[in-house]
Structure 1
Amino acid sequence: MAPADKYSVILPTYNERKNLPIITWLLAETFTKSKLDWELVIVDDASPDGTQEVAAELVELYGADRILLKPRSGKLGLGTAYVHGLQFVTGNFVIIMDADFSHHPKFIPEFIELQKKGDYDIVTGTRYKGNGGVYGWDLKRKLISRGANFLATVVLQPGVSDLTGSFRLYRKEVLAKIISVTKSKGYVFQMEMMARAKSLGFTVGEVPITFVDRLYGDSKLGGDEIVSYAKGVYGLWTSI
């Protein structure tokens, strides 16, 4: 008899002291209600706001078998945060998501259901299919996101509708393989992961999600990221 599936959430954090207790509680509630085995790996990049102190309290509250705090010495980037977190996961499936509450854990059971139904290697949340959507963004931000996805879809043809999203479920070994060949940093990283998945022949399912702008703290998207994104799309087009 095959062992039951276990779901490991890798949560990169930087200045998420206010959001971390909320997202942890919601994750615990979601997994417990669904009777699923789970753990949360918090990868904090030396947040100066006390995020690690809050995380340490959560370890005490939920137990070291559920919450793992694996900090790093500085702000080293999203891609390397996943590489770091992956070293410590014990589940056979890995969920990546944002800590700022823009990704609601209530969608995780839908990800898992679709994965089982289609035996997918990856399930990704999409804001741009079915009843998915974005809340809390102004028109400019929506246009940038739509434009970024349109540009990447036309150039790379990855077969998914939301390339820049970062709410996904992976088989552990699939995530490890994709990360090992992904070269981008910053916001291009998520897009390259999907382009690499297609080139490697992995199967991807999509679940419509509602994306809500962060509850506390500042958005990390700026003009420099938009320029680097456009360069990243071109770089991937010439290399994949």
Structure 2
Amino acid sequence: MPEYSVVVPVYQGEATLRSLTLQIQAFFQELGRSFEIIFVCDGGPDNSWQVIQTLRAELGADVIKAVQLSRNFGQHNALLCGFRHVCGRFIITMDEDLQHRPTDIARLLERQAEADYDVVYGKYETLQHSAFRNSTSRTMRRLLRLGIPDLHPDYSAFRLIKMEVAQHCLMMRNSYTFLDGYLTWVTNHVASVPVEHQERAVGKSAYTVGKLVAHSINIFATFSDLPIRLLSITSVVVFLLTSAYSIYVLVRKFLYNDFLSGFPSLIISIGFGVGLLLLGMGILGEYIHRINLKTTRRPNFVERQVLD
């Protein structure tokens, strides 16, 4: 049985998979540890699956496992799929685009051994994206930290996870998968270690700004209670303001009687009441939608072919 399982979600890896595989193999051979690589082909537009099959034929079924999904289910669902097929005591997740250096796995292992951490994140010292992408990523990260206070500040796609922690993640069935949110629910025995973030070897990221925004909104609605708390606080503030204003109108009515009859109450009911109701219906609608997705038991991934 291998000691380490490297899970790699693959979307556009045709040009980088061979180099990544050979680097991972060289690292573990030098370390003298047994390993396996699980590639999960996530419905990408290139010939990644053919490359994976070739690598498996060359290196052997004991080194490379492969799963081809029926369509694109997203990075986090692809990782969960990979977790179903791992055999190692420790799981390392990394991207296929060579922005994560396989030699930095050593840093994750050393950090984990310091206190037997359940999860160790690779913390990027410098992000190798465009200035705009870096800025939006930092903003999204701050917002997610606000919405999910327990989320580790250094969370990233380059992780070391204990097998038993990953298995707990497989038991969850949410309408939207956010692996780092799952890990936050499972354990708080988490650490991080600085690693290098390299430039993409080829092509460009499939994560556009629009996808990042949609990703963050889904995370907020699924994993954070911040929207509901904002609604509750807003409701209390509006109630206090409208109550105070109503008392003011009532007192002024008795003292001066200089308001048009019915005008203040009409403005309050329409302006504050209808606006607050619409806001509440919008937020509750998001939650009801996700509850509906969960009750329909929509699968997070569907396996088309398994080479195990």
TM-score over 0.5 (shorter chain)? yes
Of residues 28, 47, 60, the one that matches 1:50 is 47
Equivalent residue letter for 2:28: F
2:113 equivalent in structure 1? 116
- Provide, for residues 78-114 of structure 1, a one-character-per-residue CA deviation record: whole Å limited to 9, x for no partner: 2321222222211111111100111111110111111
Of residues 153, 156, 164, the one that matches 2:148 is 156
The question of whether the paired residues in 1 share the 8 Å contact of 2:99 and 2:198 is answered with yes
The question of whether the paired residues in 1 share the 8 Å contact of 2:83 and 2:170 is answered with no
Q: Distance in 1 between matches of 2:133 and 2:48?
A: 27
Deviates more, 1:93-102 or 1:174-183: 174-183
RMSD value over aligned CA atoms? 2.2
The question of whether the paired residues in 1 share the 8 Å contact of 2:80 and 2:169 is answered with no
More helix by share: 2
Q: Distance in 1 between matches of 2:151 and 2:220?
A: 18
Is 1:15 paired with 2:12? yes
Equivalent residue letter for 1:216: V
Show structure 2 runs of 5+ residues with no match: 227-308
2:139 equivalent in structure 1? 147
Is 1:199 paired with 2:191? no
Deviation at residue 9 of structure 1 after TM alignment: 0.8
Residues 230 and 63 of structure 1, relative CA distance in 2, 3 Å threshold: closer
2:224 equivalent in structure 1? 237
Residues 184 and 225 of structure 1, relative CA distance in 2, 3 Å threshold: farther
Is 1:174 paired with 2:165? yes
Of residues 213, 216, 221, the one that matches 1:227 is 213
Q: Distance in 2 between matches of 1:214 and 1:208?
A: 19
Q: Distance in 1 between matches of 2:85 and 2:179?
A: 20
Q: Distance in 1 between matches of 2:44 and 2:180?
A: 29
Equivalent residue letter for 2:168: K
Deviation at residue 212 of structure 1 after TM alignment: 2.1
Deviation at residue 233 of structure 1 after TM alignment: 4.4
- Provide, for residues 133-159 of structure 1, a one-character-per-residue CA deviation record: whole Å limited to 9, x for no partner: 212x22111111111111112332225
Of residues 15, 18, 26, the one that matches 2:23 is 26
TM-score (norm 2): 0.67
Of residues 79, 82, 91, the one that matches 1:82 is 79
The question of whether the paired residues in 2 share the 8 Å contact of 1:11 and 1:43 is answered with yes
Q: Is the radius of gyration larger for structure 1 or structure 2?
A: 2
% identical aligned pairs? 26
